Structure 1
Amino acid sequence: MPPPIRRPSPLFLLMLAPLAGCAGLGRAVHVPVNLISHELCSTAFISEVDPERFYDEELAPQVAPIAALLRHHVDYDARTASASLAGRAESRAIYHDGLGCIVDQGVTPPPVPALAPEPPAGPPLLEAGAAVAEPADPALKAALDQAFAEPPKGPRRNTHAVVVVKDGRVIAERYAPGYGVMTRLHGWSMTKSATNALLGILVREGRLEMDAPAPVAAWSAPGDPRGKITPDDLLRMRSGLALGQSLTASWTSAFDEAAQSLFATPDQAARAEAARLQAAPGTRWRYADGSTAILARIVTDKAGGPAAVQAFARRELFDKLGMGPVVLETDATGAPFGSTHVWASARDWARLGLLFANDGVVNGERILPEGWVDYSARLTPGSEAYGYGAGFWTERGAPRAHTFRPHLPADAFMARGSRGQYVVIVPSRRLVVVRMGEAYTPREDMGAVDRLVGEVIAATGG
């Protein structure tokens, strides 16, 4: 992990809170309250999970140093959630049908109709009954027991869902109390893998070239060095733009460009597009959400705008995979976040994994271009210590990263989100394993997920 960065103390932040009108500090002060209001709103009205439980498991550990200064409230009648810091910095998130929750920052997105899922034309991609699939194999049951076990002391794992898919069939799954088959769960940065799929569809349709200059108007002036950035550079996190970092998160992240763009900016793509270059495009790997925000705006523009991008994602991806009422949340402009904030059931996250396990083909129809899956799982130079591909984390060509996940086969790759969201894809074993939760254990429960996958492989005979 990168070395820690020295940050102002919580007391310093409180002393400067009255100055929240100053641009940089104002955005930093609003990051925690916007985070809280937005996530509580989404939890209450999308996931429909107890927001106070979510606050305790997910948000409280992040804001612990300033927790005494924070207040929050969910208004079920108005479908809003609010938060405040020391009675000064205040935030309100509003639920919008079809778009999810949006923090009120003085910009209102265009209305978008909520789209009901359409059943796929052919057989279901995922075989699963209405009831929870209890494992018949004692070894699989023991693996699930271990996946949900809490350590006797230390940080909690808060496992919410595990789904194991073998040969397209759910062979084992379990949910924590209060969660179930239909509960929509926040994938956090697993959203980047969904954005990868939308980009792949545009490439298959001939509407986007990954190695051509990115179609970003802000970079089109003659001589602008950013005009050399490609969609591939953005997807592989090597644009060279000064976008901050999104590898780690805590209350100190409020001072980082990435967090301010995500939680204190109504137009994320515009802010990311305005960033200066720190390195030549394609020469340095730096994981930052702003890269995917730019890609999400490209997808939105190619689809025809906010309403059209929701229909595009539903028609071309979610419905063809048999995914249920997925919510693709947006910023205040109506463009999807791209980097975070897709909410889907654990089974639906497994369906996305199956698309990649099946080389981008569903019911004989090629959804993703030929070679796209291998492209997505191919290691990006510079990311060897972490193992990053193109919108996915990968074992392929990443021996240093493999030391932290030794049970994953050499062809495995994964969608991965903050604090323990995983869709592990192992094409050679015809296997997809989903783990969702709010882990504050080392490496966000990567060790436990690695063990789970190893135990599943052993139980299913490879």
Structure 2
Amino acid sequence: MPRYKLLVGATAISMILASCSEDPQPAPEVSAPAFEQIADDAAPGKARLVEAIAPFFEDPALAETRALLVMHGGRIVAERYAPGYGPDSRLISWSMAKSVTGTLIGMMVADGLLVLDDPAPVPEWSSPGDPRAKITLRHLLHMSSGLDHTEMAEGDKAIYEADTTRLLFLDGRENVARYAEKRNLEANPGSKFEYSTATSHILVDIMTRTLTDSSDPQVRRKAMLDYARGRLFEPLGMASAVPEFDRNGTMLAGSMIHATARDWAKFGEFLRNNGSVRSAQLLPTSWTRFMKASSTNDPAYGGHIWLNKRRPDGSDQVLFPGKAPSDVFAALGHLGQFIVVSPQHRLTIVRLGKTADSDLGPINDQLAKLISVFPKN
């Protein structure tokens, strides 16, 4: 498998930051899809399903959809790709990867390697009197560690001043875990929700150090990759999944896993089936319940996964509360990456593309409409 490295250099970084920009992009001209299949016996009826899918590719308000896949009752009933993409196209996860991280942590907890409510085993926080020693895995999974973090540029700050940009592309890129773990507290652990890509990389570093005592980047990389493949990707049949790593051998599972839409759907189905695949229970149902239960500080966030519930006053709403069942959950990523699961409808929907984060309202509305054309159990 090829080794994926972060691009370096001023020119490369400029290109990356430009690609991450949330400025709306002109919608491409609609042309014949590169690949499209709709099941003749789909529950809503083929014509109705075609009508519900078309806006993702044809409505300029939804910007650029590159792939849309719908699984109902465990089988693909609809699949469409924009020109230039197809069933074999690996597409980036962005923050959908965080839900992969939450799942892998659950497997380590089930293996007895980690404990949810023990202090997180981070050497940087182990000095006597360090208040960060009170941070637990639960706090990290709920994005409530209290660590100082700015996910996106705020106010008059430039994009390169945000912690996530620095972490992935600038001064933190060589060793993302070190950058993240050196942050000081801005709130007591467990008291404040703060969405943080850095938090997910702390969790990956914890997993990696649990698997190996070595500081050799190649050993670290192999240990984490072997675990992710052996426990998750291969049993689910996610053969296309390719995670990126930093130069210290830390998997960038807060934002950079590449896979096909079909394989992202397999991950969604795995969670819809409460951690089982082909009758094999790979993840305890107690862990999937934990992932899908509201955290203390934000009802719309669980254990590294988003929930279809209203957020506290002052927070931007996520998904579509009130327009679809409250037990809908989703892995979400920058620029409109979605794995949406509706247990009541036996649905997993994958939408991958490029839509500015500030313009996701029409995508959310159309996803809710797509869910609604299917019958409930």
The two structures have a TM-score, normalised by structure 1, of 0.69
2:245 counterpart (330, 338, 347):
330
Residues of 1 paired with 2:361 and 2:270: CA distance? 23
Name structure 2 gaps, 5 residues minimum: 1-7, 26-34, 41-45, 213-219
Q: SS of the counterpart of 2:341?
A: strand
CA 1:259–1:184 in 2, change beyond 3 Å: closer, same or farther?
same
Superposition deviation, residue 312 in structure 1: 0.9
Letter in 1 for 2:63: R
Q: Does 1:306 align with 2:211?
A: no
Question: Which of residues 98, 119, 140 in structure 1 aligns to 2:49?
Answer: 140
Q: Which runs of 5+ in 1 are unaligned?
A: 1-29, 40-54, 65-130
1:59 deviates by 4.8
Paired residue for 1:123? none
Amino acid at match of 2:82: A
Q: Which residue is equivalent to 1:394? A: 307
| C-alpha contact (below 8 Å) 1:237/1:288 kept by paired residues | yes
Tell me the alpha carbon deviations over residues 317-376 of structure 1, each in whole angstroms, 9 at most, x when there is no partner. Answer: 001111122111011111111210000101111111011100111122221122212211
Asked if the contact 1:31/1:260 (under 8 Å) is kept, the reply is no
CA deviation map 1:106-162 (0-9, x unaligned): xxxxxxxxxxxxxxxxxxxxxxxxx853243101101111111232xxx76110000
* Structure 2 SS opposite 1:178: coil
Compute the displacement of 1:32 (Å): 7.4
User: What corresponds to 1:81 in structure 2?
Assistant: none
* Residue 301 of structure 1, CA deviation: 1.6
Question: Using the alignment, how far apart are the partners of 1:59 and 1:245 within structure 2?
Answer: 13
Which residue of the partner structure matches residue 353 of structure 1?
268
Is residue 142 of structure 2 the alignment partner of residue 236 of structure 1?
A: yes
Residues 33, 279 of structure 1: alpha-carbon distance in 2 compared, 3 angstrom cutoff? farther
Q: In the alignment, what sits opposite 2:130?
A: 224
**Partners of 2:237 and 2:318 in 1: CA distance:** 33
1:260 maps to which of 145, 166, 184: 166
Q: CA offsets per residue over residues 87-109 of structure 1, 9 Å max, x none?
A: xxxxxxxxxxxxxxxxxxxxxxx
1:371 aligns with 2:371: no
1:429 pairs, out of 335, 345, 348, with 345
CA distance 1:250–1:208, shift in 2 (3 Å): farther
Letter in 2 for 1:315: G
Structure 1 residues 397 and 146: CA distance shift in structure 2, 3 A: closer
What are the within-5 Å matches in structure 2 for residues 203-214 of structure 1? 203-214=109-120
Q: Relative to 1, partners in 2 of residues 1:358 and 1:32: Cα closer, same or farther, differing over 3 Å?
A: farther
SS at match of 1:414: strand
Which residue of the partner structure matches residue 415 of structure 1? 331
Local SS of the residue matching 1:389: coil
Q: How has the CA–CA distance of structure 1 residues 245 and 60 changed in structure 2, closer, same or farther, with 3 Å as cutoff?
A: closer
CA distance in 2, matches of 1:249, 1:345: 36
State the distance in 2 between where 1:180 and 1:204 align.
36
The 1-side partners of 2:130 and 2:350 are apart by: 42
Distance 1:61 1:363, change over 3 A: closer
- Structure 2 counterpart of 1:436, one-letter code: L
Check 1:293–1:402 CA distance in 2 against 1; reply closer, same or farther (3 A cut): closer
| Residue in structure 1 matching 2:177, options 266, 269, 277 | 269
Please give the alpha-carbon distance, in whole angstroms, between the structure 1 residues aligned to 2:98 and 2:181.
18
Matched, 1:173 2:79: yes
Question: In structure 1, the residue corresponding to 2:158 is in which secondary structure?
Answer: helix
Count of aligned pairs: 344
Q: 1:150 and 1:447 mapped to 2: Cα distance?
A: 9
In 1, Cα distance between the equivalents of 2:312 and 2:193?
17
Residue 98 of structure 2 contacts residue 254 of structure 2 at CA under 8 Å; is this kept in 1? yes
CA contact (8 A) 1:36 1:59 kept: no
Indicate if the aligned counterparts of 1:183 and 1:344 stay in contact, CA closer than 8 A: yes
Distance 1:257 1:364 in 2: 42
For the 8 Å contact 1:388–1:394, the answer to whether it is kept is yes
Shift of 1:271: 1.2
Secondary structure (helix, strand or coil) at the match of 1:173 reads strand
Give identity over the alignment, percent.
Answer: 33
**Which structure's relative contact order is higher, taking Cα pairs within 8 Å and 6+ residues apart?**
2
SS at match of 1:215: coil
Distance 1:251 1:34, change over 3 A: farther
Aligned position for 1:448? 363
Task: Note the 1:108-187 alignment, pairs <5 A.
Answer: 132-136=36-40, 137-151=46-60, 157-187=63-93
Max Rg structure: 1
| CA distance in 1: counterparts of 2:125 and 2:298, whole angstroms | 26
Aligned with residue 234 of structure 2, among 312, 319, 324: 319
User: Deviations for 1:377-416, whole angstroms, at most 9, x for unmatched residues?
Assistant: 22223324xx221211102575974795432211101000
Structure 1 window deviating more from structure 2 (358-367 vs 309-318): it is 358-367
The aligned residue for residue 96 of structure 2 is 190
Alignment partner, residue 80 of structure 1: none
TM-score (norm 2): 0.83
Name the amino acid aligned to 1:192. K
Q: 2:319, 2:278 → 1: CA distance?
A: 37
Using a 3 Å threshold, how does the CA distance of structure 1 residues 438 and 172 change in structure 2: closer, same or farther? same
Output the CA distance in 1 between the equivalents of 2:67 and 2:156: 24
Is the counterpart of residue 283 in structure 1 residue 199 in structure 2?
A: no
Asked if structure 1 preserves the Cα contact closer than 8 Å seen for 2:338 and 2:352, the reply is yes
**1:247 & 1:167 partners in 2: Cα distance?**
41
Q: 1:219 to 1:35 in 2, by over 3 A?
A: same
Alignment check: 8 A CA contact 2:52 2:369 kept: no
Moved more, 142-151 or 157-166: 142-151
- Cα gap change, 1:374/1:33 in structure 2, threshold over 3 Å: closer, same or farther? farther
Q: 1 CA distance for matches of 2:24 and 2:158?
A: 9
Partner AA of 1:140 in structure 2: L
| CA distance in 1 between partners of 2:192 and 2:281 (Å) | 33
